[in-house]
Amino acid sequence: MRRSLLLLSAGLTMLSTGFASAENNTPRNLILFIPDGLRALKVTPETAPAMAEVRDKGVNFKNPHSLFPTFTMANGSAMSTGHYLGDTGVFSNTIWTSYTSAPAGDTVVPFIENDAVLGDIDEHFSGNYLNEDTILKLARDKGYSTAALGKHGPTYQFDHTDKPEKPGLHSIVFDDATGGKHGVALSDEVKDALTKAGLPAVPPPRGDNSKAGDAKTPGTNVANVAQQAYFADVAAKVVLPMFKTRNKPFVLVFWSRDPDGSQHNTGDSLNQIMPGINGPTSMAGIRNADNNLAQLRKALDELGLAASTNIIISADHGFSTISKESKTSPSAKVSYDDTPKDFLPMGFLALDLAKALDLPLFDPNDKNAKIEGNKHPKFGNGVLGKDPEKPDLIVATNGGSDLIYLPNKDKKLAAKTIKALLTQDYVSGLFVEESLGRFPGTLPLSSINLRGKAATPTPSIVVNFRSYASDCGEAPTNCSVQVADTVLRQGQGMHGSFSRGDTMNFMAAIGPDFKTGFVDELPVSNADVGMTAARLMGLRATQKGELVGRVMSEALPNGAVPKAYVGTVKSKPAEGGLITVLNFQRVGSQRYFDAAGFPGRTLGLEPETGKQKTAGK
């Protein structure tokens, strides 16, 4: 409690000292541009000239942080509320909701990058699963014009609490669902403007960019060009001109699916680590996002809005190339008809735990069908126990980390599960909900701000997977490789781990309320993005949770420049010596998490030296 109060008061101090434009009363506009999955150090004047220009002429956030688990919906929840995941309850892209979600395909573990699923979860959790107000809702209430365009899921999450069938009250939303049954309805004003601009009212599909391939067929070799060109055209030719005419301040969120989609599905590297996500398809994805940003900035210039508009660019997370290798996993020794020999199958965590715990395994994405023989769960998720309707353990599969839920809070089962996890070479770091007890080799969920006022169930154990840097010839964070629980193949892309490759997202800002040519060495995070956006627009939320980000005052003219410190938290060694280590930085009482895991098994965590070396191996 004491720590939380400290956090809160630190936040308030920033609010009162760090804000220059509060005095000049000029209404500012804000564009929040999210290049999904863009690694900080992939941006150069050659690879992404528009982003490099914002970074080099505005603020270069040199010490950025995606929040762990480093997934899209999780970090979107932080950017849209300013809160950590312990408060927003969006612990990953696939979570256990404790009830069967029909729009998610009748499953207790919905994949939530979907407007219909988000609407369903909202209904279940008292109308607001985030349990905090979003900046778009607050801005809308304050009279701002608001819009969100781009990727299905995180875009709608920015303003999800109003009923889509009431256009006009809601933000203008364009995403993959627009024009369909579950899309946010467009107002007549927007429809007329689309017609005048010669744009259809339905976005084009991703086409070939959505092709993931399989074990024998490479995935895509094209970026998500056509679909994103549509969203960028709608923003530049319809939404921004409309907002200018209204002559009120606005906030516009643009969520670029690229480079994420192209890096995930890349067909450049089937079953091979190299070039992985550094091949031409990924680079085309980066350039595609960059072109969208360039188009938005050009529109601001042409509309005379550039001088009154702040732009914050923040990727939700970094990225890594997928490895499917393990020497210890029993599931990797079974042969499956869709998985190369000796590779980890999708759902390896659920399969290995079912074996180690001697519990029956059922598939929550296949009407709870029992999984036996050389089968694996369809989407990797699993419910374990004698009765699949009342499971003892649930695995929500995500990628570079997975979530485990123990609905009965069974401490003995927790101990057995942790013991089993510690024997697997693909595990690097375990985080355990504290009401289950303290377990050697693990750190508590609160140490990474995953325990707060969440409305959705808090996971019992968060399992981070192994990562390392390949010899890709670039900075180590650009060469991150990770074991991932996913249908995607070795050589394709994933994120979600505590690798510095996944936590090091691209962040930059430019505009009237930001310093120019400023290199910010202080740690910043996606929770800070939400808090800073709220501060720039003068929004005040009545917050329920206390796990809030920091206003990045050092990046604002005349803003306070706080001091930063580095630190490390270490668990007690488990039997066998494994220690979960967490490297963090600190500003006030605000912690920024760089990397975590077992030393030597996570990129960004040095193998321990001296006495701890033996303990860590």
Partners of residue 590 on adjacent β-strands:
587
Question: Closest distance between Zn ion and the C-beta of residue 494, in Å?
Answer: 7
Between 75 and 295, name the residue whose CB sits nearer to Zn ion: 75
**Which C-beta is closer to Zn ion: that of 90 or that of 547?**
90
Say which residues have a Cβ less than 8 Å from residue 377's Cβ, sequence separation at least 6.
346, 347, 350, 351, 361, 363, 364, 365, 366, 371, 397
The answer to whether 97 and 404 have CB atoms below 8 angstroms apart is no
The residue (of 112 and 534) whose beta carbon lies closer to Zn ion is 112
Site for Zn ion in 4-23 (CB under 5 A): none
| Rounded to 5°, angle at Cα 548 from 434 and 439 | 15
In whole angstroms, the minimum distance from the beta carbon of 37 to Zn ion comes to: 5
| Minimum distance of Zn ion from residue 603's CB (angstroms) | 18
Query: How far is 468 from 489, CA to CA, in rounded Å?
Result: 17
Number of residues near Zn ion (by CB under 5 A): 1
The nearer residue to Zn ion, 277 or 578, going by C-beta atoms, is: 277
Least distance in angstroms from the C-beta of 357 to Zn ion: 30
Sort 518 into a burial class: Cβ within 10 Å, 0-12 / 13-18 / 19+.
middle
Q: How far is the CB of 279 from Zn ion (least distance, A)?
A: 17
* Angstrom distances, CA of residue 486 to CA of 281, 290, 369: 20, 28, 20
CB nearer Zn ion, residue 152 or residue 591: 152
| DSSP 8-state class, residue 237 | I
User: Could you identify the residue written with the tokens 């009482």?
Assistant: 589
Window 248-267: contact mask with Zn ion (x via CB under 5 A): ------------x-------
Q: 390 is written with which tokens?
A: 């009342």
Residue appearing with tokens 């980066």: 286
Helices 2-17 and 526-536, packing angle to 10 deg? 40
Q: Which is nearer to Zn ion, 75 or 88 (CB)?
A: 75
Q: How far is the CB of 264 from Zn ion (least distance, A)?
A: 6
Give the residue with the Cβ less far from Zn ion, 260 or 608. Answer: 260
Query: What's the min distance (Å) between Cβ of 64 and Zn ion?
Result: 17
H helices within 340-471, ranges in order? 348-357, 411-422
Mask 210-249, x = binds Zn ion (CB under 5 A)? ----------------------------------------
Looking at beta carbons only, is 132 or 260 nearer to Zn ion?
Answer: 260
CB of 496 to Zn ion, least distance (A): 8
87 binds Zn ion (CB under 5 A): no
Question: Residue of minimal CB distance from Zn ion?
Answer: 260
Q: Is the Cβ of residue 111 or residue 431 nearer to Zn ion in the bound state?
A: 111
Min separation Cβ 112 and Zn ion, Å: 13
Taking CB under 5 A as the criterion, which residues in 404-423 touch Zn ion?
none
Per-residue burial over 339-355, b if 16 or more Cβ lie within 10 Å, else e, is bbeebbbbbbbbbbbbe
- Contact 120/101 with Cβ under 8 angstroms? yes
How big is the CA angle at 354 (ends 392 and 352), to the nearest 5 degrees?
135
Q: Are 266 and 281 in contact (CB under 8 A)?
A: yes
Residues that bind Zn ion (CB under 5 A): 260
